[in-house]
Amino acid sequence: MTVCTSLAEADLDHLEGLISDDSDALRAFNAFYVLLARHRRALDSSRFRVVYLRHAARFTSVPMRAVLDSDLALLDPMGPNLETALRHAASALTAYPDNLALVAHHARVLAEYGWSGAEVAASELLAALAQVERAVEISPEQARYRAVRAQLAALTGDFDTALASIQRAMDLEDSAQFGYAVRVVEYHRIRADIVLRRETQAIRSGLRETAERLEASVKEQVQRVAQESRAHEQAEITRLRSETLGSLGLLAAVIAFIVTSTQIAKDLPLHDALRLLAGLAGMLTLVFTAFGAVFGVGRLTRLVLPGILGVALFALAWLSG
């Protein structure tokens, strides 16, 4: 990285000449890697792609080429192909598990993949975070490692560590180095993402708590209404049962009264029997009219005529004597 950031424009053509030199395959690949790293660090995707497509086929057997394949996917003109980039980064890390730069690269791609909304297993995030923590311990002055740790920590929900790590990454960057402005802009973007994710999670937590409270409140109200409905229903059933029993008792008494009166009238003279029956009819009419008024069987205006009829019959029986 030190070599690639110190290259002048005139050195780039010399490096590409070394790539084409078949006399030393390792040196050719190293030149290829450094040249692409320089373009990648400068975010010059067009020059990266041109050089890659021109020479990549010569290095298919070199495991480290997977890193360049991953970078190419990240610089896709249609937008970063994070899934492809992550697959190549994992392949490179498998070949070189102790390479701290590859650890950081894989962790960064994994973090970006998680930031994009893709499902990343928590165990995978924690494993990558542990590797990056180790890289930070070995190279504490490497700003890039701290930036990656910030992204991973935010994905696990540890926003305090994430913000502290990205701030430390910005503090460690040397403004005199090549690409400083590009890296600082990226760090600010990461910090903005962390803050946005923290606020979004806080809003979601608040909405979840509100929804739970509303659910509990609605459930309580439904239970209360159900209990009140059951109590009202039971009261109505009790009232109807009482009224029914009362009606049946009244009806039984009326029937008994009618039967008794009829038996008595049978032994009386016709005039007295008619008086008795008229009085009985008037009394029964008044009783049922009063019953209808008390239990709300009909509107009061409809009970006036039966009441008058009952009074008239009773008065007729009384006065005809």
Q: 111-168: per-residue pLDDT in tens?
A: 999 888 888 899 999 999 999 999 999 999 999 899 999 999 999 999 999 999 999 9
Does 320 fall in a domain? yes
Q: How confident is the model at residue 275 (pLDDT cuts 50, 70, 90)?
A: low
| Domain around 283 | 268-321
* Cα(258)–Cα(268) distance, integer angstroms: 15
Does 255 fall in a domain? no
| Mean pLDDT score, 13-20 | 86
Predicted pLDDT at 161: 94
Q: Following CA atoms 116, 120, 123, 126 in sequence, which dihedral angle do they give, to the nearest 10 degrees?
A: -10
Does 114 fall in a domain? no
What residue has token string 């009261």? 235
Does 278 fall in a domain? yes
| Mean pLDDT score, 275-304 | 68
Question: Is residue 107 within 8 Å of 131, Cβ to Cβ?
Answer: yes
Q: How confident is the model at residue 311 (pLDDT cuts 50, 70, 90)?
A: confident
Q: Cα dist. 19→28, 64, 72, 293 in Å?
A: 4, 15, 18, 112
Count up the domains in the chain and report the number: 1
* Cα(229)–Cα(31) distance, integer angstroms: 84
| Mean pLDDT score, 37-56 | 86
Predicted pLDDT at 5: 67
Is residue 231 packed enough to be buried (19+ CB in 10 Å), middle (13-18) or exposed (0-12)? exposed
Does 39 fall in a domain? no
The region of weakest confidence among 47-51, 286-290, 298-302 is 298-302
Does 282 fall in a domain? yes
Predicted pLDDT at 109: 93
Does residue 106 register a pLDDT over 60?
Answer: yes
Predicted pLDDT at 270: 66
Q: Following CA atoms 80, 81, 83, 86 in sequence, which dihedral angle do they give, to the nearest 10 degrees?
A: -60
Give the DSSP H/E element, type plus range, for residue 121: none
Does 179 fall in a domain? no
Does 188 fall in a domain? no
Name 197's Cβ contacts closer than 8 Å, sequence gap at least 6: 154, 159
